[in-house]
């Protein structure tokens, strides 16, 4: 494969999740995404309708090349979303929208591809440690679900993982968490990490904390739980968000150990980047380093929160550029 030539531009790039679908144009190799627009995924029957709606408002040349990340495993031509009732064929989508080239990857695979391009204000450091060049990099992030990926060194570049680590079994690190997970187990046949570390998971943690205290929680949304926790106006919300951050530290540490991610751990998704100082002060980093004999190993690994608003679009563009022309 060779790099795409200029005549293939503009490229359409996207980041499709269970709640939002974001699209943009990339007009030249390495250029920043522009004409960015966010749509509600549930307003459309599938990606064809969402993409067509975005393209209707665009002046100028219609993109012929497209790549997008989507929040579900991509294992073949048929794609079925995990947290949204979209089912489609990649080949059929390409034909319907008359694209010459279409790349569809897992959303966190796309986000992982963006990591080498992020620096400075794109990132918020949480805890110490310095990255080791040429070592694996881990990525996870909570939103509608829990995405997990990473970058594995390959020659002078990296290979992005297509993984579903959000569905690993969530462990308890103390008696309090064991009680919370026992409550979640009454709702779910398998208490995966995503059952607690996601928007719906944050709400489930809030309800579990309420039940363990013999209280009845209010009918809140995940956003309201976060907002009340950040404002400090609801002890149950503060407890739920505190548990969320600490448990995320456990899962991030497990990922770091599994990958040998001495290049660092990055945290994206729709929830953590909005938590600001609450996350920095939370139990995340202490839990990340709390691994007994390997605490020193983990203390040397840096962790960052991704603050770049459209990093996954950069990754989708890189996926298309890597594919190149036959």
**The token pair that represents 316 in the structure block:** 């989708």
120 φ, ψ to 5°? 60, -125
322 or 219, higher pLDDT: 219
Gap between the Cα atoms of 166 and 140, Å rounded: 8
The confidence band for 10, taking pLDDT boundaries of 50, 70 and 90, is very high
What pLDDT sits at residue 326?
A: 46
Average pLDDT over residues 210-229: 96
The tens digit of pLDDT for each residue in 39-65 reads 999 999 999 999 999 999 888 778 999
Angle 288-294-295 from CA coordinates, rounded to 5° = 45
> What is d(CA 148, CA 277) in angstroms, rounded to the nearest whole number?
23
Nearest to 248 by CA among 196, 306, 305: 196
- pLDDT of res. 284: 98
Structure tokens at 214: 């013999």
How many Cβ atoms from other residues are within 10 Å of residue 259's Cβ?
21
- pLDDT above 90: percentage of residues in the chain: 84
Sequence-ordered list of residues with C-beta below 8 angstroms from that of 26, at least 6 positions apart, any chain: 9, 10, 11, 13, 32, 33, 34, 313, 317
In this prediction, residues 54-83 reach a mean pLDDT of 91
Overall average pLDDT of the 241-270 stretch:
97
Q: Look up residue 66 and give its two tokens.
A: 């497209």
DSSP bridge partners of 104: 68
User: What is the pLDDT confidence band of residue 114, given thresholds at 50, 70 and 90?
Assistant: very high
* DSSP class of 94: H
More confident residue, 2 or 46: 46
- What would the mean pLDDT of 120-140 be, rounded to a whole number? 95
Q: What is the pLDDT of residues 161-180, one digit of tens each?
A: 988 999 999 999 999 999 99
Confidence of residue 3 (pLDDT cuts 50, 70, 90): low
Exposure of 127 in the CB half-sphere (CA atoms within 13 A)? 25
**Average confidence score pLDDT of the chain:** 94
Chain length of the chain:
326
Is the CA virtual torsion 99, 43, 20, 57 positive or negative?
positive
Segments in the chain forming alpha helices (H)? 47-56, 90-96, 107-114, 175-185, 193-196, 199-212, 222-231, 235-259, 277-281, 284-289, 295-299, 311-323
CA 270 to CA 19: how far, in whole Å? Answer: 10
Q: Exposed e or buried b for every residue in 146-160, given b needs 16+ CB within 10 A?
A: bbbbbbbeeeeebeb
Q: Name beta bridge partners: 24.
A: 13
Residue ranges at the known binding site for ATP: 14-19
Over residues 253-276, mean pLDDT:
97
**How far does CA 30 lie from the centroid of its chain?**
22
For the stretch 285-316, pLDDT in tens is 999 999 999 999 999 999 999 999 899 999 99
Q: How many CB atoms lie within 10 A of CB 75?
A: 10
Mean pLDDT of the region 128-148: 94
Contact 199, 271 (CB under 8 A): yes
pLDDT at 121 over 80: yes
Going along the chain from its start, the domains and CATH numbers come out as 6-113+314-323 (3.30.420.40), 119-307 (3.40.367.20)
Known binding site: residues? 14-19
Q: What would the mean pLDDT of 11-30 be, rounded to a whole number?
A: 93
What's residue 316's pLDDT? 95
Please choose, from the candidates 36, 130, 69, the residue with its C-alpha nearest in 3D space to the C-alpha of residue 315.
Answer: 69
Separation of alpha carbons 149 and 161, rounded Å = 5
């Amino acid at each position: 494969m060779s790099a795409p030539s200029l005549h293939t531009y503009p490229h359409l790039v996207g980041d499709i999740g269970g709640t939002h679908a974001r699209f943009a144009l990339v007009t030249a190799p390495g250029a920043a995404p522009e004409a960015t627009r966010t749509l509600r995924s549930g307003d459309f029957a599938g990606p064809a309708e969402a993409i067509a709606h975005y393209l209707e408002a665009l002046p100028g040349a219609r993109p012929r090349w497209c790549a997008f990340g989507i929040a579900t495993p991509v294992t073949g031509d048929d794609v079925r979303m995990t947290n949204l009732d979209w089912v489609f064929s990649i080949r059929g989508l390409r034909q319907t929208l008359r694209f010459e080239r279409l790349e569809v990857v897992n959303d966190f695979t796309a986000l992982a591809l963006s990591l080498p391009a992020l620096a400075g204000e794109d990132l918020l450091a949480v805890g110490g440690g310095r990255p080791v060049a040429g070592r694996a990099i881990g990525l996870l992030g909570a939103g509608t679900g829990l995405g997990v990926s990473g970058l594995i060194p390959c020659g002078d570049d990296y290979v992005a993982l297509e993984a579903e680590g959000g569905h690993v079994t969530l462990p308890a690190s103390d008696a309090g968490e064991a009680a919370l997970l026992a409550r979640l187990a009454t709702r779910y046949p398998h208490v995966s990490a995503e059952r607690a570390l996601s928007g719906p998971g944050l709400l489930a943690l809030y309800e579990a904390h309420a039940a363990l205290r013999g209280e009845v929680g209010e009918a809140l949304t995940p956003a309201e739980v976060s907002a009340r926790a950040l404002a400090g106006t609801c002890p149950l919300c503060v407890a739920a968000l505190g548990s969320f951050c600490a448990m995320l530290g456990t899962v991030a540490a497990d990922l770091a150990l599994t990958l040998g991610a001495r290049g660092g751990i990055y945290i994206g998704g729709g929830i953590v980047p909005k938590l600001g100082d609450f996350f920095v002060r939370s139990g995340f980093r202490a839990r990340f380093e709390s691994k007994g004999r390997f605490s020193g190993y983990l203390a040397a690994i840096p962790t960052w929160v991704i603050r770049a608003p459209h990093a996954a679009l950069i990754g989708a563009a890189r996926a298309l550029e890597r594919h190149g022309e036959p």
